[in-house]
Structure 1
Amino acid sequence: MGVWSKLTRRSRRDVTSAEDLLALARGQRTGSGGVAVTNDTALRHSAVWACLRLRADLVSTMPVDVYRRVNGILVEVPKPPVLVTPGGTKVGINEWLYSTQVDLDRAGNCFGLITERSGVVGPDGRGLPGRIDLVALSDVTVRANGSEITKYTIAGKQYDPWDVWHEKQYTVAGVPLGLSPVAYAAWTIEESLNAQQFARDWFAGGAIPLAELKNTAKTIDKKQAQIAKEAFKAAVSTGDLFVHGVDWEYKPIQAVANTSQFLEARQFGLSDIARFFGCPGDMIDAAVGGSSITYASITQRNLQFLIMNLGPAVSRRETAFSQGLVSGPRQVKLNTDALLRMDPEARARTIQTQINSRTLTPSEAREYENKPPLTEADWAEFDRAFGSRNAQPTPPAAPGAAS
């Protein structure tokens, strides 16, 4: 039975929060001595942090552009303020995109209060959002009727759906909230966090005894054992010698935290978590075994990551922004070219090929390099150096060749 159906089997109008879904997906598996997995405690795991950071870093640094289709061609138009400073003057688009992408990737949902509206009327007859103040996941619960959310409760106060910005990903039919990767990866994360806790307790001496001190000659009672223990500790704590006869045997207990099985389990957890969060293991510095895939360049590696891992999330966000933040025929695009930056030599070859094939003009190429168009004086200088602008440049002669 699914998480949502278990939660709402008594009533399709039960109040639900992301934390409720997390607890149900995890089950009551965590013991009293274990680490409870929540959206916050999951960040203690380096693989979780690395996956969320990588995806949010890339999405938040993609330029946001708005286009309008004119005669079949997309023409860039000015961005509305909500796509420049969506959280007010102190919260720019980069920070806002980073925060929302982290929530989407760890919980499948992000929420914000629409505190200002623009003068542009949206499809629902209300003004489009002019400012969206993000809220913590733990402060949000929703009331739903089937797959439709009817009320949001944020920090104890109720809001209608049109007052709340809600994006979701990892959706399934009939569920008004996105599925949480942290919830479904909870067992793997819990195992890794418990292993970290064990290792910490081990090195602090609190998990299991560090060593065994045994009397091989006779059985001793609790009082004698305590006296021997205190004498031993008093001696070794200062680095002094512990003097005893032939009846005492000291044997260090091998640390479980150093066994190959323990280390393999922790290493497996890294790649397992990477799969849950849609990041290739090698991109978060997790050891990858058995893979023979190689890439000719970093651009190819980034292209594979964009297509297979990040592209769908980018497309969903573009759709959400186009439908909810701009009006009419306008559409929002996140410029993924920022992820596919080439090295200078490859970039120059690509631009030259486009110019020679007449798909790019020299002025457009210079604009890519943040340079102004060539002036007549610039063209005249090129003509003096390479001949007429209508002629192909003559390659320089080889050294020692006859002129």
Structure 2
Amino acid sequence: MGYLTNLLGALTGKPQASSSFDLTNMSPENLRDFLRIGGSMESASGAVVNDNSAMRVAAAWRCVNIISGTVGSLPLDLIKRESEKVRRPAVGHPLRKVLTIKPNVWQTPSEFRRMMQMHLLLRGNAYALKVRMGRDIVGLIPIIPDRVMVEQMPDMSLRYQVTRSNGSTKFYQQAEILHLRGMSLDGIKGLSVISHMRESLGLALQGELAGAKLMKTGQLANTVLTHPNKLSPEAYNRLKDSIAASGGSENAGGTRILEEGMKLEALAMKATDMQFLEQRNFQRYDIAMFFGVPPHMIGATEKSTSWGSGIEQMGIGFVTYTLNDWLVTWQEALKRDVIDEREWDTIDVRFFPQALLKGDTKTQWDAFTKGRQWGVYSANDVRALLDLNPRDDAEGNEYAAPPNQNPDAAAAATDPTVDQTGGPDEPEQTA
């Protein structure tokens, strides 16, 4: 270990304390970033992009937080298909406890799904080790993607090489690992998102760094000092010390004392400064595009209205084209990897995106009302969706006949004395 410490000190030009890091716990990608050698994630802008630096970009943090938080908070259940038309929760199935109550000894289901989804979004892959008791899966242990190498064997099955925290490696067969993969070119491993968007993230990181340094020095060139002749050395030194002392955002807006006839003139913002601000704003839209999140959901509303149907349609598009893609990925991977093949015809994993309507009371009640009118829901069905106890009377389980099949409604539709617009006929007015 001392040799490696000295080697790192020689490579970086800085002495390294042996207790400051542990190489056995450092993933290959983190080691490459540390040494800044071939294969690192350094962008053309000079910023090194990895999981930690990517999450320092506000737009990236918000995109990852929205998607992973939604996947983690949506209700999920194990469903048993009793027939082609009858589906019920698989009460008593050992896997149901793992998915809905306790995936492992330290995480809740929402924490587990949120972490796995973050791995998917940033690294393109999420892995978990299946813990078995006999034939039953009783736990899922998440694995950091950087510690996993995947290879396809001659029989077309996958083998996973996992680097443990102590530096040792172990091989796992495909039947031992839950693997969720994003968009993939080879069908074996998902594409790393941050590696493909590192230039966008690098620009955002460097722009933020430049802005921070500007605020630290407080030397934005929006003013110019002019002197009618030549400034004396004494006055120059006093002015230089005054400018240095007035730097920093905490001294912004201060007043300078000028001498020997000097004048202070204001300058308009230069085109380069405007381009700097526009570039920082553009990066938010670029990052949102990579993650498939509507810009208004990360606070970028400059190019769209903050209210009205436009925002509503973008929200619907997010659920339809971005969130649904991830939910299907979860459902299919869970069925393939954690449900016994003998139960594939009868057991399914299902998310319930209807829970997203909880924040929109009007839309939720409109859906319930139409469902009741067309006989899709009974009163007790609606109450169950609202987590309320069923009604005690028998009418709570009754389903209304659809309006086009209701005899009273059909008779009213053909009765000439009934105004079809909804009100009683009025006598015809004559001039």
TM-score higher than 0.5 = yes
**Corresponding residue to 1:318 among 307, 331, 343:** 331
Aligned to 1:131: 139
For the residue of structure 2 that corresponds to 1:204, the secondary structure is: helix
Residue 369 of structure 1 deviates from its aligned partner by 3.2
Aligned to 1:368: 385
Measure the CA separation in 1 of the matches of 2:297 and 2:172: 38
Q: Which amino acid aligns with 2:357?
A: L
Aligned to 1:153: 163
Measure the CA separation in 1 of the matches of 2:306 and 2:326: 27
Aligned to 2:44: 29
Aligned to 2:125: 109
Cα distance change on mapping 1:166 and 1:20 into 2, 3 Å: farther
Cα distance change on mapping 1:245 and 1:373 into 2, 3 Å: closer
Matched, 1:82 2:98: yes
User: Structure 2 unaligned runs (5+)?
Assistant: 1-26, 397-406, 410-422, 424-431
Aligned to 1:144: 151
Aligned to 2:79: 67
Q: Which moved more, 1:204-213 or 1:189-198?
A: 204-213
For the residue of structure 1 that corresponds to 2:190, the secondary structure is: coil
Matches within 5 A, 1:208-223: 217-218=229-230
**Corresponding residue to 1:119 among 130, 134, 137:** 134
- Work out whether residues 371 and 377 of structure 2, in 8 Å CA contact, stay in contact via their aligned partners in 1: yes
Residue 42 of structure 1 deviates from its aligned partner by 0.9
- Work out whether residues 235 and 259 of structure 2, in 8 Å CA contact, stay in contact via their aligned partners in 1: no
Residue 58 of structure 1 deviates from its aligned partner by 0.9
Point out 4+ residue stretches in structure 1 off by more than 4 angstroms: 16-28, 145-150, 206-216, 218-221, 223-228, 231-237, 248-258, 290-294, 342-346, 376-379
Cα distance change on mapping 1:182 and 1:374 into 2, 3 Å: same
Residue 24 of structure 1 deviates from its aligned partner by 4.8
Matches within 5 A, 1:3-402: 24=39, 26=41, 29-31=44-46, 35-73=47-85, 74-78=87-91, 80=95, 81-114=97-130, 116-120=131-135, 128=137, 130-138=138-146, 140-142=147-149, 144=151, 148-155=158-165, 156-162=167-173, 163-173=176-186, 176-205=188-217, 217-218=229-230, 226=237, 229-230=240-241, 242=257, 244-246=259-261, 259-289=273-303, 295=309, 302-327=315-340, 328-329=343-344, 330-341=347-358, 343-376=360-393
Q: Which moved more, 1:210-219 or 1:273-282?
A: 210-219
- Work out whether residues 357 and 364 of structure 2, in 8 Å CA contact, stay in contact via their aligned partners in 1: no
- Work out whether residues 18 and 141 of structure 1, in 8 Å CA contact, stay in contact via their aligned partners in 2: no
For the residue of structure 2 that corresponds to 1:339, the secondary structure is: helix
- Work out whether residues 99 and 109 of structure 2, in 8 Å CA contact, stay in contact via their aligned partners in 1: yes
For the residue of structure 2 that corresponds to 1:259, the secondary structure is: helix
Residue 342 of structure 1 deviates from its aligned partner by 7.0
RMSD of aligned Cα (Å): 4.2
- Work out whether residues 242 and 256 of structure 2, in 8 Å CA contact, stay in contact via their aligned partners in 1: no
1:296-338 deviations in Å (ceiling 9; x for gaps): 895x654332111110111000111112222212111111111
Measure the CA separation in 2 of the matches of 1:177 and 1:259: 42
Task: Tell me the TM-score normalized by structure 1.
Answer: 0.72
Measure the CA separation in 2 of the matches of 1:234 and 1:269: 34
Task: Tell me the TM-score normalized by structure 2.
Answer: 0.68
- Work out whether residues 235 and 242 of structure 1, in 8 Å CA contact, stay in contact via their aligned partners in 2: no
For the residue of structure 1 that corresponds to 2:309, the secondary structure is: coil
1:52-104 deviations in Å (ceiling 9; x for gaps): 11111111111111112222133321252321345424311011111111111
Measure the CA separation in 2 of the matches of 1:57 and 1:151: 29
- Work out whether residues 109 and 169 of structure 1, in 8 Å CA contact, stay in contact via their aligned partners in 2: yes
User: Structure 1 unaligned runs (5+)?
Assistant: 1-15, 121-126, 380-389, 393-397, 399-403
Q: Which amino acid aligns with 1:188?
A: S
Residue 29 of structure 1 deviates from its aligned partner by 2.2
- Work out whether residues 85 and 91 of structure 1, in 8 Å CA contact, stay in contact via their aligned partners in 2: no
Measure the CA separation in 1 of the matches of 2:278 and 2:355: 37
Aligned to 2:415: none
For the residue of structure 2 that corresponds to 1:152, the secondary structure is: strand
Q: Which moved more, 1:269-278 or 1:326-335?
A: 326-335
Percent of aligned pairs sharing the same letter: 19
Cα distance change on mapping 1:66 and 1:342 into 2, 3 Å: same
For the residue of structure 1 that corresponds to 2:79, the secondary structure is: strand
